[in-house]
Amino acid sequence: MSEVATHTPPPQSRRNLFETLGIDTRLLGMVIAFILICTVFYFVTDGRFLSPRNIFNLTIQTVSVAIMATGMVFIIVMRHIDLSVGALLALCSAVMGLMQVWILPQVMGLPLGSVAITPLAIIAGLLTGALIGAFNGWLVGYQQIPAFIVTLGGLLIWRNVGWYMTSGQTLGPLDPTFLKLGGSEGTLGATLSWIVGGLGAVAAILAQFQARKSKARHGFAVKPIWAEITMSVIFVGAILGFVGILNSYDIPTARLQRMFEARGEVMPEGYTEGFGMPISVLMLIVLTIVMTVVARKTRFGRYIFAAGGNPDAAELSGINTRLLTVKVFALMGFLCALSAIVAQARLQNHTNDIGTLDELRVIAAAVIGGTALSGGIGTIYGALLGALIMQSLQSGMAMVGVDSPFQNIVVGLVLVVAVWIDIQYRKRSGALK
């Protein structure tokens, strides 16, 4: 019953290079935009923008927003929104701060510096986030209150619940182990970073050829082998290049000296050591991979996209969309808590204004990354790139000395223009009617 049944199918249009390589052209556009931004700042800052030091800092600063942006993709894909992520981050941070400075050492009597403090604080934080997220999801899914309203309420509620719990006080000092999750305090060091990078490169190649094998098994068309190899080279180059840059940022001499003294050794003359990959960045990378697999390869992910594309169809296909809403919001809450760990450890204490305005940054990252507010469309890596683009703009403009109000104007413009380009692109490619 196809319309082409009566006449011959049109000749297959010539495939361009990127189609052959299997690169999503939208992703390519974003990568080019990102490279453009980096190039401009590189010249304006006389190369400082792309120094290993700045790249290191940039990645660390991106982590917190990027973690939440991966979850926001699912929320927006399901046609919801979460305005409470910044506030929830603050509450989770308050809970973890209280655990570290008061509940565990003073109420439960754990000795300061006990190995149990960090894991217990983290568990408490993650539970808080997931439970409040699930509660939001229940209000949205089962009580049918629009997510905008539920989370707008949450935006006003949760940060201030945290304020009451801490009486508005700054909490610190935090547990030394906990601080390692913030960025520069906890890095893998050069050797371990190379090992992780190497494993990542091998895994990338294996995953690619696994996919090829699976396609070939069913007799589907596969990419030409040169395309596979080109992609592998790009992947491996990107992974190892990134690790190389992080490794080439040397730990300051004074800090190295303190590290040696702490171990009771004397630092050799002229000794240098690279920071390597921060634990928080590794966490984000692993999370991105996991969330991408969830989105593409699990029923849970498939149902999120189905429910976003057509809620009625999902319901009629036997998907419990209400429970799905609860799960997606619970996941978002969990990610807020994860983000709170990184943010708090990076700032080295809990303050009540932690994560202020993060909801807007997170939504902007997801949207710049190609997530459609009308639902059903979005990618995890897009959101990650969106977060990176925003942080680069902000950090670059700060380096150049652009006035703060103007910085916000530029970020705002980028957000609107990015969505406009996206809509134009989808119109052309026929994904929008």
Q: Collapsing DSSP states into helix, strand and coil, what is residue 278? A: strand
Q: Given the complex with another protein, which of 257 and 320 has the nearer CB atom?
A: 320
Q: Which is nearer to another protein, 303 or 334 (CB)?
A: 303
CB of 203 to another protein, least distance (A): 16
Long-range contacts of 31-34 (CB under 8 A, 24+ apart): 31/385, 33/389, 33/418, 34/385, 34/388, 34/389, 34/392
CB of 144 to another protein, least distance (A): 16
The least CB distance from residue 141 to another protein, in Å, is 15
Helix (H, G, I), strand (E, B) or coil at 250: strand
Q: How far apart are CA 1 and CA 307, in angstroms?
A: 27
Instruction: Find the shortest distance in angstroms from Cβ 3 to another protein.
Output: 5
Positions in the binding site for another protein (CB under 8 A): 1-6, 9, 214-215, 217-220, 293, 297-299, 302-303, 305-306, 308-310, 312-319, 376-377, 430-431, 433
Nearer to another protein, 4 or 17 (CB): 4
Distance CA(188)–CA(176), nearest Å, equals 16
CB of 182 to another protein, least distance (A): 33
- Whole-number Å distance between alpha carbons of 89 and 340: 5
Closer Cβ to another protein, 219 or 401, answer by number: 219
Radius of gyration of the chain (CA): 23
With respect to another protein, which residue has the nearer C-beta, 109 or 219? 219
User: Which residue's CB is nearer to another protein, number 48 or number 426?
Assistant: 426
Q: Which is nearer to another protein, 11 or 264 (CB)?
A: 11
| CA 85 from centroid of its chain's CA atoms | 13
Q: How far is the CB of 136 from another protein (least distance, A)?
A: 24
Q: What is the DSSP string of 348-400?
A: TSB-TTTTTTHHHHHHHHHHHTT--TTSS---HHHHHHHHHHHHHHHHHHHHH
Say how far apart CA 88 and CA 159 lie, in whole Å. Answer: 6
Is 64 in contact with 359 (CB distance < 8 Å)? no
* Shortest spacing between CB 303 and another protein, in angstroms: 8
